[in-house]
Chain A
């Protein structure tokens, strides 16, 4: 039992250490994609101006607030 516990602890330690290395070395691809999209949105101005405000509003739209 004693030896078994030691091995498990060693495994947990290795896992934690591996995690630290992961953070430092691997390129965060998903985060980079989100960053790229945020920058592209701004450079191409995709978020602003793509839905121009319609002062009259759609005539027959259901649930339109008055």
Chain B
């Protein structure tokens, strides 16, 4: 066998291997009943959360949750309701990250998925919304 032929084999194996890896990473499974129900629950809640993001009462934390940022932006009478919204949202988010990891057969990915979402929520947030910087301080987008 010539040197060139051998290297061609090596190249073929390498390309096939990397192509296989690329296909395996093409998409994560997110179409499960559990994920769908979490999405719809979060979608409904978003109608109530959006104005709170807008006036700075609630912001996005660096760990993929939401948190009360400015209690003064919420009338006293509504604070309990807002706290319940935040708790419900964080519960759904935790379940979402866990379910995505589980749906892909990798429960150990939960924290990686949470970190990915943390970045994406902030990246996709509208101008004027608040997020927590790496140092922990609140930043207005």
Q: Which residues of A contact B (CB under 8 A)?
A: 4-5, 8-9, 11-12, 15-16, 18-20, 22-23, 27-40, 42-46
B17: contacting residue among A15, A27, A29, CB under 8 A: A15
Which single residue of chain B is at the shortest CB-CB distance from A6? B6
Contacts of B28 in A (CB 8 A): 28, 31-32, 34-35
Tell me, in angstroms, the Cα distance from A26 to B1 when the chains sit together: 36
Binding site for A on B (CB under 8 A): 1, 3, 6-7, 9-10, 13-14, 16-18, 20-21, 24-28, 30, 35, 39, 42-43, 46, 96, 100, 109, 112-113, 116-117, 119-121, 124
A9 to B13, alpha carbons, bound, how many Å? 10
Q: Is the CB of A30 within 8 A of B120?
A: no
Shortest beta-carbon distance from A7 to chain B in Å: 9
Tell me how far the C-beta of A43 lies from the nearest C-beta in chain B, rounded to whole angstroms: 5
Contacts of B16 on A, CB cut-off 8 Å?
Answer: 16
Pair A15/B26 contact, Cβ less than 8 Å:
no
Determine the chain B residues whose CB is within 8 A of the CB of A18 once the complex forms: 17
CB contacts (< 8 Å) of A43 on chain B: these are: 39, 42-43, 46
Residues of B within 8 A of A9 (CB): 6, 9
Which residues of the other chain, A, contact B10 by a CB distance below 8 angstroms? 8, 11-12, 15
A22–B24 alpha-carbon span in the complex (Å): 10
Complex contact A8–B116 (CB within 8 A) = no
Instruction: Please give, as numbers and ranges, the residues of chain A lying within 8 Å of B112 by CB-CB distance.
Output: 27, 29, 32
Q: Are B21 and A36 in contact (CB-based, < 8 A)?
A: no
Q: How far is the CA of A43 from the CA of B48 in the complex (A)?
A: 12
State whether B21 touches A23 (Cβ < 8 A): yes
Which chain A positions have C-beta within 8 A of B43?
Answer: 42-45
In chain A, what residue has the closest Cβ to B96?
A39
Task: Tell me whether A34 and B20 are in contact (CB under 8 A).
Answer: no
CA separation between A9 and B7, bound complex, in Å?
Answer: 9
11 residue pairs bridging A and B, Cβ less than 8 Å apart: A5-B6, A8-B10, A11-B10, A19-B18, A27-B109, A27-B112, A32-B109, A38-B30, A39-B96, A40-B120, A43-B46
